[in-house]
Structure 1
Amino acid sequence: MEKIKFMSEEMQEEAEFFVLEQTKVNGVSYILVTDSEEDDAECLILKDTTTDESSDSIYEIVEDDVEIGAVSKVFEELLEDVVIER
Structure 2
Amino acid sequence: MQEAQDKIVFTTEDGEQIEFFVLEQTKLAGETYLLVADSDEEEANALILKEIQGENKETVIYDTVEDEQELEALSKVFEELLDDIDIEME
Q: TM-score, with normalisation over the residues of structure 1?
A: 0.93
Question: Could you say what the CA RMSD is over the residues aligned between the two structures, in angstroms?
Answer: 1.1
Tell me the equivalent position of 1:37: 40
Tell me the equivalent position of 1:63: 66
Q: What stretches of structure 1 move > 6 A for 4+ residues in a row?
A: none
> SS of the counterpart of 1:75?
helix
Provide the C-alpha distance between the structure 2 equivalents of 1:84 and 1:38, rounded to a whole number of angstroms.
14
> SS of the counterpart of 2:87?
coil
> SS of the counterpart of 1:69?
helix
Q: 1:25-74 CA distances to partner (integer Å, 9 max, x unpaired)?
A: 00000000001000000000000011472422210000110110001100
> SS of the counterpart of 1:58?
strand
Provide the C-alpha distance between the structure 2 equivalents of 1:46 and 1:54, rounded to a whole number of angstroms.
19
Match runs of 1:3-42 below 5 Å: 3-9=7-13, 11-42=14-45
Tell me the equivalent position of 1:53: 56
> SS of the counterpart of 1:71?
helix
Note the C-alpha offset of 1:7: 0.5
**Number of residues of Structure 1 aligned to a counterpart in Structure 2:** 85
Q: TM-score, with normalisation over the residues of structure 2?
A: 0.89
Unaligned segments of structure 1, at least 5 residues: none
> SS of the counterpart of 1:49?
strand
- AA partner of residue 83 (structure 1): D
- AA partner of residue 78 (structure 2): F
